[in-house]
Amino acid sequence: MPDLWDKKYKCPVCGASVGTKKVFTGKVRIKSYEADLKPVYEGINPLLYSVIVCESCYYSALESDFETQISPIFREEIRKVQDEIKIPEMVSFSQERDHKVAIIAYALASLFYKVKNQPCRTAEMYLRMGWLYREINDEDNENKALAKALSNFEECYLNTYVESDKEPMILFYLAELSRRFGKREDAMRWFSTLVSKYKSATSFYVKAGKERWQELREK
């Protein structure tokens, strides 16, 4: 059985038909998690295919957001972003992707989420970009991407409405990325907020946050 299948979408910006590869759910196998809860996959990596890219106008977003209607107030800014995009001709987003193509897809999506004033999503794009850079051992670009993720998670948490089901994840990465960049006091504060606010929650992020908070306190 193949790992990938083809799916079509309609671009909400230019109306073009957008084809992309999707990973069969049954083929996704998580072998382990790293310290920042980055999944380590056995076999095909679904992170390579999470972002849908319109090859006609380069509008990009996560699959769950891609066909969502665009508010007219963002259309002019989106066009400005599109006018600046230059993608090498040999890059195809509709075929099998390697890490470099997937990173370009996340970079595009981060631009569009930014102009749509969605810092939480922008942060997620940079976080995943950092993970993909890690997988190809590009530590310099990994750190740059994760620093941008932290900055956007801060904007997300402090300046936007955060849904309660998303809050543990955001607090975890505010803490974990602060810890990574040597901001111990910030890390302690965010882990403390996560643990005290969600002490009875069964969230994966809360469990990991408790362990990390304890480690920091013992140092």
The yes-or-no verdict on residue 88 having pLDDT over 70 is yes
Cα separation, 162 vs 56, in Å, equals 33
Cα separation, 93 vs 102, in Å, equals 8
Summarize pLDDT for 95-123 with one digit per residue, the tens.
Answer: 999 999 999 999 999 999 999 999 999 99
Summarize pLDDT for 165-198 with one digit per residue, the tens.
Answer: 999 999 999 999 999 999 999 999 999 999 999 9
Closest CA to 160 of 117, 190, 104: 117
Closest CA to 98 of 165, 152, 11, 21: 21
Read off the tokens for 31: 């072998």
The yes-or-no verdict on residue 45 having pLDDT over 90 is yes
Q: Where are the beta strands (DSSP E) in 137-192?
A: none
